[in-house]
Chains A and B, each alone.
Chain A
Amino acid sequence: MKRALTETEAFRMVGRSFPHRDFEQKVQGAMAYADDWRLPGMLYGKVVRAQVPCARIASIEASAAEEVPGVRAILTAADVPRNGITEDASGLEIGTVIQPVLAFDRVRYQGEPVAIVAAQTPAAAEEAAELVQVEYEDLPGVFSPEEALQQGAAEVHPGGNRLVEWRMHRGDVDAALAGAEVLIEETYRTTHVDHAYLEPEAGVGWIDSDGVVTLRVSTQVIEHAREIAQILELPQTKVRVIATYMGGGFGGKEDMTIEPYLALLVWKTKCPTKMVWSRQESILARQKRHPFTMRYRTGATRDGRVIAQDIQILGDAGAYPLLSPRVLFAGAVTANGPYDIPNARVQATAVFTNNVPTSAMRGFGAMQVVIAYESQMDRVAEALGLPPADVRSVNFLREGSRLVTEEAIDTPVAIEETMRAALQGLGPTETATPADPSKRIGRGFGCNIEPYGRTSFFADRASCWIGVEPDGTVTVRTGITDLGGGQAASLAQIAGEVLGVTPDRISVHIGDSALTPLAGGTFATRQLYMSGNAVLKAARELREKLVPVAVELLEPGGGQVEFAEGCVRLRDDATRFLSLPELVRAAESRGVFAFQLTTFEAEVGEFDPRTGKGRTFPDYTYGTHATEVEVDIETGMVRVLKYVACHDVGRAIDPLRVEGQIQGGAVQGIGYALNEEVRYEQGICESTLFADYLIPTSNDVPDIQAIILEIGPGKGPFGARGIGEPPIGPPAAAIASAIADAIGVRINELPITPERVLAAVRQGSIGGR
């Protein structure tokens, strides 16, 4: 459902849905994903992984593995030219620890790569990998942030287990809490979650005829080519990454996955090599969503105004930093939710443990905090006997409101409208009691704030090349990657809008570090904002180059022209026009070339980590989800009966794709709320089977009613706001709230499994409707 509350501008391409070529290929089975590629003489790579989470490597014995027929290479740490990946994830040189590509003297988590094998068949590679004998001597480890922060705890890396600690504050929290009429103090916990995209990590690499190590891989970030070059100690011009259309990413292909291992095998063997991680090794060893422990103290006045909030967040970073500093930063900035809280304090700490590393996943720290800040709002409302919507309304951010960092929101905030629309979408409460006496029905909702765009001190930028071909079709080149959300398709619509060309006549070439201008990867809900603006800027610049030529030919005295329907024509006389091929020919004969290369630069701001003040994110997307659930108080099973998800996206470039993001994010969030957990016992993964990692099936979820609002213009092209990550924020909060409505007990720990529901039922007196 699309409801345009603002006056709709006269768009021709934007705001409509087009069947783009990549989707045609997908429904016909013609899309060549990373694993669907093969070269003559290709070898197969396999990673040998640590079986224990914390140990010294006493020895590695590969002679039996070398005997396996068809084995071509076995590499260990000593074979890696520069065995380290350093990521300044905070952007402020905080929390940088070198992560070995292959473990050298010790392993720090179960599944850490220790060696790699290349062989002529997948079976030979697998057999050889199993025969690589690694002797471990166990070391004491730490397996939770609380344990890791204790005095005398074993250190994961020298220098202590505190990876990063962000502190932000506004006003006088202690005084305000002391003066509050209601004080709510609660602790919330979330867990390790897997991205579970259906396409496992995969790719093929080869050395091109010009000596360039080339990887065609499933990745969100082609700029990793530079890190790979450093690992191989090659000039950065000698590594090329081509990103395939991905079978899902969700942040899990933002850090490198197979790339360094594949590159090493290609570089060593000089043979084309393929590597595909199995689902089970993906669950075992690839990075997860951070479990957060969140302690909230919230003070409010009798009228429901939240006057103070004190927040402490502990995040389990696992054994290496990856993007943890940035994830905790996003969590800290948004920990107070879409609310203007005059006295607020946040301390967010990422802690090393000997668990699997955690890093980017859709929502990126700003989603874990939603269940905490929304449950606190509900509890304030309960304590005061006020409707939860009213309590939110008096506290919502508005344009000009300040966050905990003291920066002001500088675009319109339509959170109130999303809440009203979502609640209305759920419809009137049906008072019919369930037929089954063991069932209870409840309703709840949750609101959220999610940044789009990279942190402003990263000085983000995206480049784009656009050109009109002699036949009037349009080529766009930009180094984005496409996760499946229609990232490339949206760019065609934006270019088409400016140049008056339908998307089927526009080819968008993406994801090649050698050939497409770099655009910074697809993550942080930045792609539409950054590359969309880059394409818009490039297309407009190109149009401005061509306008004088058109005017000279159509109305030499000077006139207004417009680009439409594959032509340029006089605005007040559409019968006088040039086709684009005629325009291109005329322009080139005058030395005006029909292409443009340009860069869009995001707003840049400073942040001071000592004071916790400054600029953080360029802007935010707001939304509300509302749901009705049925709880079986005998089995603890929760069934989601109705679900409405509303976000203000400023401008929907392609409404069908926006709905798809909202519906898909909501369902991922429902899985996060009720089922999903990768369980570890002392750092050992309890199950690596997909059968045990329960993502929602079609039968687990109802229809998701998506409501798109276009109210507050954002900073993306044509006023768009990012929508990739925001929809995964509210579901857990909305469902927890609905369960509380049903059974009268609020559950603070995710996932809300039947066991936890039953425990809550036993603990509470069963109320509900």
Chain B
Amino acid sequence: MSKVPIRVTVNDREVEVWVRPNQTLLEVLHDEVGATEVKYGCGEGICGTCAVLLDGESVNSCLMYGVQADGAALTTLKGLGGDDKPPHPLQERFLEHGASQCGFCTPGMVLTAFEFVRDHPDPSRDEIRTALEGNLCRCTGYTKIVDAVEAYARDQRASKS
């Protein structure tokens, strides 16, 4: 299958990448772009480890083709913070609360939580639990993840008031 070019913005960096039309966005990001923080967990859209923000909204990148993202702005976990940038406050809350154990769910989990708190600044614990339902974690039992997201939302409200 011959490759076609697509142009995407990944964490504020514009990239042109040649992809096979049947490559998933997950494969494009992980294997072609080198955004290895986007993880393969199931390929069925069940586990959420491959979640990225596409024009600001979270999607499971295993459930769409790379060509469908042509022209889009994509944010992965590294787009929030780390590397050259200071860590994002949500990443810091995850670290402090021990919300990451094996860390494999963390990229998708943090992005989903980021999007949720952005849109719902004052969530209850139950609302956080419902929002994260599409991101599976097998290590933590979720309590510390909810702790971290709750603390982050509280900080965000405090810094805005």
Contacts and interface: CB of A to CB of B under 8 A. Distances in A.
A35 B40 contact: yes
A485 B42 CA distance: 22
Contact of A199 (B37, B41, B77, B135): B41
Contact of B130 (A197, A279, A659, A699): A699
Given A19-B96, A198-B137, A27 B47 contact: no
B106 A29 contact: yes
6 contacts: A28-B81, A30-B83, A280-B43, A697-B132, A697-B134, A697-B136
Interface of B: 1, 20, 22, 30-31, 36-37, 39-44, 46-47, 49, 76-78, 81-83, 87, 91-92, 94-107, 110, 125, 128-130, 132-146
- Among A196, A200, A698, A701, find the residue whose CB has the most chain B CB atoms closer than 10 A: A698
Given A30-B82, A484-B139, A660-B139, A247 B104 contact: yes
Interface stretch (A97-105, A153-161, A601-609, A688-696): A688-696
B52 to A, nearest CB: 11
Nearest to B107: A29
B102 A246 contact: yes
A198 B146 contact: no
Interface in A174-218: 195-200
A592 interface: no
A171 interface: no
Contact of A659 (B20, B83, B98, B139): B98
A241 interface: no
A307 to B, nearest CB: 38
Contact of B142 (A25, A486, A659, A698): A698
Interface in A53-85: none
Closest 10 CB pairs of A and B: A484-B102, A26-B103, A247-B104, A29-B37, A28-B82, A663-B141, A667-B141, A29-B77, A36-B36, A690-B42
Contacts of A663: 140-144
A698 B139 contact: no
Contacts of B77: 28-29
A248 B83 contact: no
Contacts of B78: 28-30
Nearest to B131: A698
Given A698-B137, A698-B146, A699-B129, A245 B40 contact: no
Contacts of B133: 697-699
B20 A200 contact: no
Contacts of B136: 198, 695, 697
A695 B44 contact: no
Contacts of B82: 27-30
B81 to A, nearest CB: 7
B94 A247 contact: no
A689 B41 CA distance: 12
Contacts, number: 177
A246 B139 CA distance: 11
A438 interface: no
B101 A703 contact: no
Nearest to B97: A656
Nearest to B130: A699
A199 B143 contact: no
Interface string A333-374: 000000000000000000000000000000000000000000
- Among B92, B129, B134, find the residue whose CB has the most chain A CB atoms closer than 10 A: B129
A204 B37 CA distance: 17
Contact of A664 (B130, B132, B139): B139
A292 interface: no
Contact of A23 (B76, B103, B138, B146): B103
Contacts of A279: 41-44, 47
A493 to B, nearest CB: 14
B106 A27 contact: yes
Given A27-B91, A196-B138, A484-B101, 18 more contacts: A19-B95, A22-B103, A24-B87, A28-B78, A29-B36, A29-B77, A30-B83, A198-B41, A199-B41, A200-B40, A248-B101, A656-B98, A660-B140, A663-B141, A667-B142, A697-B133, A698-B132, A701-B141
B117 to A, nearest CB: 15
A700 to B, nearest CB: 8
Interface in A578-622: none
B127 to A, nearest CB: 10
A657 B141 contact: no
A668 B97 CA distance: 20
A198 B49 contact: yes
A734 to B, nearest CB: 15
B141 A664 contact: yes
B78 to A, nearest CB: 5
A504 to B, nearest CB: 13
A701 B102 contact: no
Contacts of A27: 82, 87, 91-92, 94-95, 99-100, 103, 106, 110
B18 to A, nearest CB: 13
Contacts of A26: 100, 102-103, 106
B36 to A, nearest CB: 4
Nearest to B1: A123
